[in-house]
A and B are shown apart, each in its own frame.
Chain A
Amino acid sequence: MTAEKGLQRADAKPRHKPRLGRLRLASSRPPAPAVFDEMCGAAGAPPRAVYAEIRQWLRDTPLDILEARRAQAELMFRRTGITFNLYDGVGDGERLIPFDLIPRVLERREWNVVERGVTQRVQALNAFLADVYGPREILRAGLIPEDLVLGNPQYEPRMAGRPPPKGVHIHIAGIDLVRTGPEAFLVLEDNTRTPSGVSYMLQNREMMLRLFPELAAKARVAAVETYPALLLQTLRSVAPEGRESDPCVVVLTPGVANAAYFEHGFLADQMGVELVEGSDLFVRDDVVYMRTTEEPRRVDVIYRRVSDVFLDPLAFRPDSLLGAPGLFGAYLRGGVTLANAPGTGVADDKAVYSYMPQIIRFYTGREPILDNVRTWRCREPAHLAHVLANLETLVVKEVDGSGGYGMLIGPHAAAAEIAEFRRKLIAAPERFIAQPTLSLSTCPVVQGGRIESRHVDLRPFVLTGAGGLTAVPGALTRVALAAGSLVVNSSQGGGTKDTWVIGD
């Protein structure tokens, strides 16, 4: 059986003309007219040259081989325990994040724009935090309402007047982008608290290199494997004063039940540092130690994957068992560095997000390289009125939500759900923002023995240390696996893909 036949077989009744030259992309329904497809390009345009290797590969590889490889990948992920935890009362809670074989590709030229855009953004976000916990110039300039910042539940008043080591608040950021056209990358969300997913960027690459070594070699993909070394370098660079010579770095995890536990262990392993839980740490005289089989060892930098409120029962929630008593006090008095700093959540509040263009101009003196998605702030009566009148077409999100929970996608929602959000919006408008429903770009995926087209987003990661900002040329691409779905979150059944940056 030839490859061509393999592909045709799945397409017994072609409903559409193939759009890939001779390649019959079996079931790739041509996306709705306005949707940009990562491989095929805009409707009517020729297929994108950057996907040439991948199209050739899809032409040469029968679908049943792809299916077999996908099963092999799943088995390897399961064997090595690359899972995330989801507790919904079914099974043991350990799930695989579905991995799709067909890489998502960015041209180097496109990546350069993304990279400059997200680093500009993270630089502005760090400057914003230094300012709102410092001189508050942006508030005095009247560019953003004072109560939105200082009255924000994510604002941590105890951080005011306490610049973090080397002035960095957000050491690790994940910026969620969506693409709506050839040149249109929009920022959907900033994640400045404890963004996750970078381990999937690395594992997906490793899996692709293992399954299809020739393909990646032919395409000359930019390397992402340096990320753990860069992360360690970033964390070491922000050690507290006097501890710069050989700082001890650890990763603090909430524990094995956390959804991203695998990632915490993976990163600790890759950096060669300890993965600790709160109970492994204790604080004396504003110095943090870990309990070891020999003597207590001093800890200098904590890459914490525990939320602010659980960090320290003496300073935040008293019932938290996930942190260490005295940790926040030690941090405030310079005994240890926390990455990210406490109180960064105010920067990724979705109402604050809507001011990002002004924030970027204010701190960098330049125009934003990447645009925001148009956002209605329900805290403002005029915006609220517009949102309530257009719920059927909008996406409504909680200002501090994440993981795809607690959001309304108007066009896909039932009447009851819309009514429920209407009540919620009227009761507490300041808790919500709304955005137009975007037509996210699509990418081919292998599913059920066919090649289908699914919506994707893009999460590049930006590291900020004492020496500046870096982003490895790659990202996490998340895929909404249900046909037509726009929700890519892994907690909602989303999958991931390897993301390639190719070209010079």
Chain B
Amino acid sequence: MKIKIPVTKAKEIARIQALRLSEKTIARQQATSNFFTDIADVVLFISHLFKETFSRKFEVHEFFHQCFKIGYKSLPLISVTGTIMGFVLTIQSRPVLVRFGAETILPGMVAVSLIREMGPVITALICAGKIASGMGAELGSMKVTEQIEAMEVSSTHPMRFLVVTRVLAATLMIPLLILYADGLGILGSWIGANIKGDVSFILFFSQAFSHIGFIDLLPAVVKSFFFGAVIGLVGCYKGYNAGRGTESVGKAANSAVVLASLLVLIVDMIAVQITDMISK
């Protein structure tokens, strides 16, 4: 059975449908163009960053100030998380190892898993939360309150002063924080092992370190530098490119954490693949 629609109404329906389709097409085109604009922005930002990093005038004082802020001021948080990491890993693994009569390999197993994977990744994720969000919020609020422009009219290159120093400080300090967290993780593991057993400090540590080889330590340290660079870069990029309103400061901080955490995991996945290929 056919329903008859008046011609004028049919034309109107066709017009509305065409309009909806064109709106959808425009929205899709805009989304695609925004994506490519964002990619171009990131590429420009990184190329500008490299250019300023290798320029003759380096902001030494600001670089050390950022090293202090990123490294020293993160020590309490990293101390707690590092110790808990080793402690929990030991408490969770011990019953399984006892069941198979392999309790003696506990220090080595914990040390290897901490140094190869858990230490770098968890510390980097914690740093993404603390440092990337801090950079995003700080630079974002500086942008909103015209402080970055004020810097520029004072003959200061904001990219050199604000971004280069922060990215380099993060690249240098985060690997050190990761090594520090690894050390405290093994200490936490010893505390965990002593809750249900009795192992001397020296014996535990000598057993732990006897299982760690060059192939465990080197890839972990190398990827830590990449974690640091990613965290600094994302935090600065999001803050430096924040919008004009105060709302954009929150958005910059939030998106910095999310993107930095995601990129840390992606870099880790790539690093694991490369390490696996090399060790074969």
A-B interaction = no
Interface residues of B (CB under 8 A from A): none
Q: Enumerate chain A interface residues (CB-CB to B < 8 A).
A: none
